[in-house]
Chains A and B, each alone.
Chain A
Amino acid sequence: NAGVTQTPKFQVLKTGQSMTLQCAQDMNHEYMSWYRQDPGMGLRLIHYSVGAGITDQGEVPNGYNVSRSTTEDFPLRLLSAAPSQTSVYFCASSYDLNSPLHFGNGTRLTVT
């Protein structure tokens, strides 16, 4: 099993550009989520999903969209990138709500 795979690993965007961060898991996990990590802030939840077709907002959802058309994939879309979205983004999945989170290796995004 590859686990949780995130692409790309690094990305530089200009303000106003849009892009999609990809996340795929091959563990048949129902629960998936996106976190951003900023220095001194810990991990903050952006969006999450409890199954295909079901998504909801987390703590910091503004400027991001998600969809969950399949169990395996949970892409994160930046609609119009802003410098405040410079961060490291982690995708995570878990089997159920009482199970550990499995994190991807992260995407380091810089918005200039």
Chain B
Amino acid sequence: QQPVQSPQAVILREGEDAVINCSSSKALYSVHWYRQKHGEAPVFLMILLKGGEQKGHEKISASFNEKKQQSSLYLTASQLSYSGTYFCGTEGGLTGGGNKLTFGTGTQLKVEL
């Protein structure tokens, strides 16, 4: 089943903060976060793994609550370049199985001056 992302859309003024949530109905091994600009390919932001390991960009932070099967992406001091659609991708199971991600439907974020 597809993870549920919230909010569906958000508009920020430059410098404001935002939180994007991703919730799954099944136990998760990993959560990925990607950003996609219009007409372009998704770009990697963060991986959060069962057990606490995280890999990603220094300026991006995220959390992974394994018990609640939820992840949140924290965008602080937003810049115009943060605009785009944010997707979470999840993989279930105890050990993962090949990066077979199930993606949410996305959160559209727009940063304005």
Contacts and interface: CB of A to CB of B under 8 A. Distances in A.
Contact of B105 (A41, A96, A106): A41
A101 B44 contact: yes
| Contact-residue bracket for chain B | 20 to 34
Interface stretch (A20-28, A43-51, A71-79): A43-51
A105 interface: yes
Interface residues of A, number: 27
Interface of B: 2, 30, 32, 34, 40-44, 47, 49, 53, 55, 87, 89, 91, 96-106
14 contacts: A33-B99, A42-B105, A43-B42, A43-B89, A45-B102, A58-B100, A59-B102, A90-B42, A97-B98, A100-B47, A101-B89, A103-B42, A104-B41, A106-B41
Interface of A: 31, 33, 35, 40-45, 48, 50, 56, 58-59, 90, 94, 96-106
